[in-house]
Structure 1
Amino acid sequence: MALIFGSPKKQNSRGDDMKQDHRLKLAKDLYMAGKIKIMTTETVPGRDIHSAFGLIVCRSYIFDNAFYGLMAQALDVNADAIVGYRESVSFHPEGDKYYSCYGTAVRLKKTKK
């Protein structure tokens, strides 16, 4: 039988997408503790950007995985903030949502004490 209209629905269960990953837990913990900043603007108020690592993107059928996955990617490159944060959602014809989170990973200059 030939498939005429698009690709088949994702075969993996959502449970596969929700597997606990230590990177996601660490990213969530650091975000909740205020250790990593996420800004929709191109700057962090009161802080200067030391260096930019570039655009990072994370996608998932589960919003938390896309959001905290983005932070985990930023931490992987030793960033301490994401600027220009955006998110979008697209819809599968069968009703599933697919989330995309993206922004620029940056390292902030140290604050003077």
Structure 2
Amino acid sequence: MFFLLGGNSEKKARKAEKKQRRKSGELTERAREIFMAGRFPVVTTHEVEGRRIAKVLGLVCCRGFDSEETFFGMACRAMNKGAQAIVGYNENVAFHPDGSKYFSCYGTAVMFEYDPNERDALPLMLQHRFRSMQDDGQGDEDVF
């Protein structure tokens, strides 16, 4: 009878956790697609050749047992901050006695100065919004 009144909090918590994991996986997959398309540079140097850094958004990092999931998790966190690239990228691997590896990836999320001649010059968050405004006929190309 208790569960009929909404008192089964364990089940609700498990359901919310499962939903969050699924959403996180979708975001990581999106970050993977953007990185593989060459639209999100990750470099070990402290600058990207040909681009000037306008704003430093801060440190982004991710840790885990899978190297790809860790790397793209870090990229996803940077994109969620509005970053256009990661500079100063570094990674560490810790080897455990049981044979498993633990990966740590970190870098600095940055935004570039706006260049109207470059197609992907806007942050990823604004590109979608700007393109939808153009499709509706509301956007003015001279605004950005």
Q: Deviations over 1:68-104 (max 9, x none)?
A: 0010000110001000000110011111000000000
> Letter of the aligned partner of 1:101 in structure 2?
C
Higher helix share: 2
Match of 1:73 among 71, 77, 83: 77
CA distance in 2 between counterparts of 1:59 and 1:49 reads 26
Structure 2 residue matching 1:36: 3-state secondary structure: coil
Match of 2:32 among 17, 25, 28: 28
> Letter of the aligned partner of 2:25 in structure 1?
D
Query: Paired residues, what number?
Result: 96
CA distance in 2 between counterparts of 1:35 and 1:101 reads 19
Unmatched 5+ stretches in structure 1: 1-18
Tell whether the 8 Å contact from 1:58 to 1:102 is kept in structure 2 after alignment: yes
Please tell me the root mean square deviation across aligned C-alpha atoms, in Å.
1.6
The normalised TM-score by structure 2 is 0.63
Describe how 1:1-113 pairs up with structure 2 within 5 A.
Answer: 21-113=25-117
Tell whether the 8 Å contact from 1:27 to 1:68 is kept in structure 2 after alignment: yes
Higher relative contact order (CA 8 A, sep 6+): 1
Higher strand share: 1
The normalised TM-score by structure 1 is 0.80
CA distance in 2 between counterparts of 1:50 and 1:34 reads 20
Unmatched 5+ stretches in structure 2: 1-21, 118-144
Offset, 1:112: 4.4
Offset, 1:58: 0.4
Percent identity over the alignment? Answer: 40
Between structure 1 and structure 2, the one with the greater Rg is: 2
CA distance in 1 between counterparts of 2:38 and 2:114 reads 15
Structure 2 residue matching 1:82: 3-state secondary structure: strand
